[in-house]
């Protein structure tokens, strides 16, 4: 896994404080803001909570914003979009993309049933030793299926996991992108495509790392709770990240309760 970049923003008395060390030369817990200051606090500003790297002192900060420090413009010193406390994988995080909405999606967003947005890998950057190359490779070419339930409700795996932005869509199916990871999804059907230039073991943990979502015994993506896992209808009790992605494996994760009994899945012709 690549080095994590941690974005930390402090709060004092509910007021967000950003210290521009290069300009001010020092920090103060009660800074004085002058009208001439290009980074003046403007609680009514429509971009409240957003740091605009184009401003002289790194932008506007809405002291009343309820967001956790707000998104950080990709052009800023931190070069990314992240909430305070978020752990960003430098190897897979695309600082130039809006993680919540893919501009290439004809619907301008994602089905609310989707567990989490697909994120975006960076071309030729390794995640768990897995590259995101310019095209799909087929030395190893198999498919597994992943179903996720949260408190008994099915959640979809998004289309475009492991495919770099900008993505090209055809009827909701991702047909192209800036790069293809060896593990990726084209649709919201739960099919994980394993297409690699070499033969090796791939795991569910690898897939979640490329997706940039956590996976543990108590969490799958943003959903928290006890995680019950089934592989081909059999209860899996070991480390969930070690579940192997073999050809036509049917994997099911149940987060919380009720636990849905393992559901069958039939792979369509050609998969």
The predicted pLDDT at position 128 comes to 97
Q: What is the pLDDT of residues 45-81, one digit of tens each?
A: 444 444 343 443 434 334 344 344 444 343 333 333 3
- Under the banding of pLDDT at 50, 70 and 90, the label for residue 109 is low
The pLDDT score that the predictor gives to residue 259 is 98
Q: What is the pLDDT of residue 270?
A: 81
What average pLDDT does range 114-134 have in this prediction? Answer: 94
Q: List pLDDT tens digits, range 248-258.
A: 999 999 999 99
Q: What is the DSSP letter of 19?
A: -
Place 110 in a pLDDT band, splitting at 50, 70 and 90: low
**Rounded Cα–Cα distance for residues 16 and 155 (Å):** 34
Enter the pTM of the model. Answer: 0.63
- Residue 127 banded pLDDT, cuts 50, 70, 90: very high
Per-residue pLDDT for 213 more than 50?
yes
pLDDT tens readout for residues 4-20: 333 333 333 333 333 33
The pLDDT, as a whole number, for residue 196 is: 96
How far is residue 252's CA from residue 231's CA, in Å, rounded to a whole number?
7
d(CA 16, CA 9): 7
Instruction: Specify the DSSP element, H or E, that contains 235.
Output: strand 234-236
Q: What is the mean pLDDT of the chain?
A: 73
Integer angstrom CA distances of residue 127 from 9, 29, 45, 183: 27, 39, 38, 10
Residue 108 has pLDDT above 60, yes or no: no
Count of Cβ atoms closer than 10 Å to residue 168 Cβ: 12
pLDDT at 132: 96
Give the pLDDT band (50/70/90) at residue 137: confident
168: pLDDT strictly greater than 60: yes
Residue 231, pLDDT > 70, answer yes
pLDDT at 172 exceeding the cut of 50: yes
């Amino acid at each position: 896994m690549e080095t994590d970049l941690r974005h930390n923003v402090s709060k004092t008395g509910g007021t967000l404080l950003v210290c521009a060390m290069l300009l001010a030369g020092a920090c103060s817990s009660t800074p004085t803001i002058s009208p001439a200051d290009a980074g003046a606090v403007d609680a009514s500003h429509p971009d409240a909570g957003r740091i605009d790297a184009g401003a002289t002192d790194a932008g506007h900060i809405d002291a009343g914003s309820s967001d956790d420090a707000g998104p950080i413009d990709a052009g800023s010193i931190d070069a990314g979009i992240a909430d305070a406390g978020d752990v960003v994988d430098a190897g897979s995080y695309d600082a130039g993309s809006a993680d919540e909405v893919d501009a290439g999606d004809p619907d301008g967003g994602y089905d609310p049933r989707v567990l989490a947005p697909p994120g975006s890998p960076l071309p030729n950057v390794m995640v768990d030793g897995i590259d995101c190359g310019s095209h799909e490779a087929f030395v190893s070419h198999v498919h597994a299926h992943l179903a996720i339930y949260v408190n008994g409700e099915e959640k979809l795996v998004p289309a475009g996991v492991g495919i770099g932005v900008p993505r090209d869509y055809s009827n909701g199916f991702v047909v192209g992108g800036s790069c293809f990871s060896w593990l990726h999804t084209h649709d919201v059907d739960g099919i994980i495509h394993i297409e690699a230039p070499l033969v090796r073991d791939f795991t569910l943990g690898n897939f979640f790392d490329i997706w940039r979502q956590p996976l543990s015994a108590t969490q799958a993506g943003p959903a928290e709770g006890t995680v019950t896992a089934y592989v081909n209808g059999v209860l899996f009790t070991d480390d969930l990240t070690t579940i192997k992605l073999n050809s036509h494996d049917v994997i099911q994760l149940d987060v919380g309760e009720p636990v849905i009994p393992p559901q069958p899945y039939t792979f369509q012709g050609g998969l």
